[in-house]
Amino acid sequence: MLYFSSRKDLFFFIIFGGFIFFLIWVYFYEGKPVGGLIINASISGFLLWIWFGTGYRIEGETIKISFGPFRGKINIHEIKTIRRTTHPFTSPSLALKKLEIATSSYDVTYVSPKKEQQFIAALLQVNSMIRLENLEREIDGEKSSKHE
């Protein structure tokens, strides 16, 4: 079992942190209603759960994805391509620089592991038929690029 935490960009830190700060500011500035505290604490807790609970676990032939309370799975043998992409609001990722994992032409998942090279290498150990597009990878200390 291998665990890869999500890369976290400043962009998402500002969005998450700014929203939490805004909720705290509204609560203290607007007169501290009890209902507001419960709602603000719930929303803040949810955002913190996503922030600290986003990661990718490779167990056997499966990638288990955690995005706060949300869960997903990908069968590694069904992965057709992996390519680098940038989309600001595709989940489950907390970074702009992401990996797009396609299992079919219509089923795509975006992830952003901190240790991208190790993540890709772990996937290739299970399924060497995965096609890498616009990605560089290190093999035995050498850099190579596989474009197909």
Q: Is 106 helix (H, G, I), strand (E, B) or coil?
A: coil
Please state the rounded mean pLDDT for residues 31-43.
Answer: 78
The letter for the amino acid at 84 is R
Give the pLDDT of residue 92: 80
Give the pLDDT of residue 145: 44
pLDDT in tens, 46-104: 999 999 999 999 999 999 999 999 999 999 999 999 999 887 776 688 999 999 999 98
- 72 phi and psi angles, rounded to 5 deg: -155, 165
2-135 has which fold? Answer: PH-domain like (2.30.29)
Quick one: angle between helices 10-29 and 34-52, nearest 10? 170
Residue of higher predicted confidence among 84 and 29:
84
pLDDT confidence bin for 136, thresholds 50/70/90? low
Please state the rounded mean pLDDT for residues 30-43.
Answer: 78
Give the pLDDT of residue 31: 67
Is the distance from CB of 50 to CB of 67 less than 8 angstroms?
A: yes
Give the pLDDT of residue 25: 84
Give the pLDDT of residue 147: 43
Distance of alpha carbon 132 from alpha carbon 148, whole angstroms: 7
Inform me whether the pLDDT recorded for 141 exceeds 60: no
